[in-house]
């Protein structure tokens, strides 16, 4: 039995647009609830959320068989954590703060078994191969791994053309918050100058033939990003959905009873 088809990677290769949701609660029950909503993909955030490899694994278990593809953002672009996330069952990895083509090439190698890469061959004891019961996993795994890299600093933006030329990078995600901070607009991602910079980057990524991605819950920015060619777009965050809805209900009824 070969490695399962990565439906997310195939959809991007086919030119489809995929809408997702960021998951920051680090809880399987949240993943389970969101898996039935209809998002094309759900992001398990290991960078800014209280996830460890066990909670990432548990959410991957929860999302198995779901129509929402699991994307795992590792906390840092290090081989050891990428290896653990892949062995836990992730097929699509998002790596933050990628600034050079050399870094991107190292990440490609970390995601692939030798001789193409440096991923440790431990799948016989991993969830990824159904604990050794998927006999043909190793020889077929490389083709089903999807690597997404985040460009979110001035250095990364300056090197975007070189990063886009790296074979094995499937998509480039623009991180609006960190990029804004790096360019001197901390907390001002909606500033006209930042919006122009972000949209120009998305257009460049799209024109390169790689998939462009972004996260924003602003309706206008979502549409502008889609118009600029973004094809994997996170349009909501689980915490934002809960807090904003709760605030709206609370404000409404306090106004009626106050």
* Catalytic residue set: 48
- Measured CA distances, 32 to 28, 80, 127 (Å): 6, 27, 19
Beta bridge partners, 182, equal: none
> Cα(22)–Cα(28) distance, rounded to whole angstroms?
13
Say whether 231 sits in a helix, a strand or coil: strand
> Cα(51)–Cα(256) distance, rounded to whole angstroms?
40
DSSP 118-167: -----GGGSGGGTTTT-TTHHHHHGGG-EEEEEE-SHHHHHTHHHHHT-T
> Cα(212)–Cα(16) distance, rounded to whole angstroms?
11
> Cα(214)–Cα(87) distance, rounded to whole angstroms?
26
Torsion sign across C-alpha atoms 213, 214, 215, 217:
negative
């Amino acid at each position: 039995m070969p490695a399962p088809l990565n439906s997310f990677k195939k959809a991007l290769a086919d030119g489809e647009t995929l809408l997702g949701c960021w998951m920051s609660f680090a809880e399987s029950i949240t993943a389970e609830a969101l898996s039935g909503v209809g998002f094309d993909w759900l992001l398990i955030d290991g960078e800014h959320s209280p996830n460890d490899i066990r909670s990432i694994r548990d959410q991957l278990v929860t999302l198995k068989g779901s129509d929402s593809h699991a994307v795992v953002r590792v906390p840092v672009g290090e081989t050891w954590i990428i290896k653990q996330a892949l062995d836990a069952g992730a097929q699509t990895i998002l790596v933050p703060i990628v600034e050079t083509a050399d870094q991107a090439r190292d990440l490609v190698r970390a995601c692939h078994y030798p001789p193409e890469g440096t991923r440790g061959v431990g799948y016989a004891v991993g969830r990824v191969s159904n604990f050794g019961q998927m006999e043909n996993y190793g020889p077929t795994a490389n083709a089903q791994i999807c690597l997404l890299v985040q460009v979110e600093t001035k250095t990364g933006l300056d090197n975007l053309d070189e990063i886009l030329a790296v074979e094995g990078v499937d998509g480039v995600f623009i991180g609006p918050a960190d990029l804004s901070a790096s360019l001197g607009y901390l907390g001002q991602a909606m500033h006209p100058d930042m919006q122009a910079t972000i949209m120009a980057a998305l257009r460049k990524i799209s024109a390169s033939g790689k998939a462009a991605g972004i996260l924003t819950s602003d309706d206008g920015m979502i549409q502008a990003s889609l118009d600029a060619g973004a094809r994997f777009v996170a349009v909501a965050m689980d915490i934002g959905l809960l807090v904003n809805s709760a605030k709206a209900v609370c404000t409404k009824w306090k106004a009626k009873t106050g």
